[in-house]
Structure 1
Amino acid sequence: MEISNPAGFWNRLGARIIDSILMSVVTGLITLILSGEFLGDDYDPTDGIGLLYGILLPLFWYGYTIGKRLTGVRIVKKNGENVGIWNMLLRELVSAFVYVFTLGIGLIVSAFMVGLREDKRAIHDFIGGTYVTYDPPEKSEHA
């Protein structure tokens, strides 16, 4: 299947910012309850909540996170089907290692790829076999 209605840079960035703010507030409140500090400088076990959010929510909500839903985009497999656990693990975990290993250069390259490529796919999209689209889920997917 051909990639349909891919989402561009600004829309994807907006979704990521919304999700980051949401996860900061949630983890901050949990940390405040547990330790008395809103956000500490040290590693906190609640840091993994954002990672779980980014991997699991799209599995159960047709490729949406809250930020993506608010900006009208969702993650799908390259063939247009809903993402699976393998796609999301590759997309989020493996690509994070690539971005760290390249000292952030891979992330900059990804931003240019989304902005300049016709299919709007970044490095993490290629690793996960996914893309981000404006297309809503099929009606049969809601049943």
Structure 2
Amino acid sequence: MPSDTSGRPDRHATDVVGARIGAQFVDLVLQFVQVVGVAVALGSLVRPEGEAAVRGLVGLGFLTLPLYGGLLEGFWNGQTVGKRLAGIRVVDRRGDDPSVGQVLVRNLPAVVLFSWLTSAVALAAIATSERNQRVFDGVAGTYVVRA
């Protein structure tokens, strides 16, 4: 992976915006399945009564969204299913596998990024940052590069 003098991935290595969009689409579909699966599993345990209870279970399902990227990227070579299919991965500032803590931090926005508007804002951040990073990539010290 090409890097600058600090060891960080250079602009060319992080120029994977198109692949990130494709990966995000795959991952959003899988995250939707995750939220529904969590809500159904919890519903089978507590037998919710009423619309408010069902909404609460779905809300709890949304709270698990950072785990999708956090656990997969943390334990699967910096990749989610979408990233693996798109041929990209998450790395730390040195180009190494990120820590579980780093990928959990970079995935915290998943709770609110499950909409087209916040995804558009994230894409705008990627397109305008020096090394194509989302805000929480910068906070976590991570980059998305070609695998």
Output the TM-score relative to the length of structure 2: 0.68
Instruction: Say if 1:26 and 1:111 are closer, same or farther in 2 by CA, change over 3 A.
Output: closer
Which residue does 1:111 correspond to in 2? 123
Q: Which residue of 1 aligns with 2:78?
A: 63
2:9 is the counterpart of 1:3:
yes
The residue aligned with 1:43 is: 56
Deviation for aligned residue 1:125? 1.3
Alignment RMSD, CA only? 3.0
Give the counterpart of 1:18 among 26, 34, 48: 26
Cα gap change, 1:52/1:33 in structure 2, threshold over 3 Å: closer, same or farther?
A: closer
- Give the match's secondary structure for 1:12: helix
CA contact (8 A) 2:16 2:88 kept: no
Letter aligned with residue 89 of structure 1 = L
* Matching residue within 120, 125, 135 for 1:123: 135
Figure out how many residues of one structure are paired with residues of the other and give that number.
Answer: 125
- State the alpha-carbon separation in 2 of the partners of residues 33 and 81 from structure 1: 36
Specify whether residues 31 and 3 from structure 1 end up closer, same or farther in structure 2 by C-alpha distance, changes over 3 A only: same
Q: Find the residue that maps to 1:13 and give its secondary structure.
A: helix
The answer to whether the Cα contact below 8 Å between 1:8 and 1:115 also exists between their aligned partners in 2 is no
Instruction: Label 1:48 to 1:117 Cα distance change in 2 as closer, same or farther (>3 A).
Output: closer
C-alpha separation between the residues in 2 aligned to 1:27 and 1:14? Answer: 20
Mapped contact 1:23–1:49 kept (Cα < 8 A): no
Query: SS in structure 1 opposite 2:64?
Result: helix
Gaps of 5+ in 1: 137-143
- In the TM superposition, what is the alpha-carbon distance from 1:33 to its structure 2 partner? 5.4
Distance 2:118 2:15 in 1: 22
> Following the alignment from structure 2 to structure 1, what is the Cα–Cα distance between the partners of residues 70 and 144?
14
C-alpha deviation, 1:119, in angstroms: 1.9
Aligned partner of 1:28 among 33, 36, 39: 36
Q: Which residue of 2 aligns with 1:78?
A: 93
Q: Is 2:71–2:104's contact at 8 Å kept on the other side of the alignment?
A: no
CA contact (8 A) 1:7 1:73 kept: no
Q: Secondary structure at the match of 1:127?
A: helix
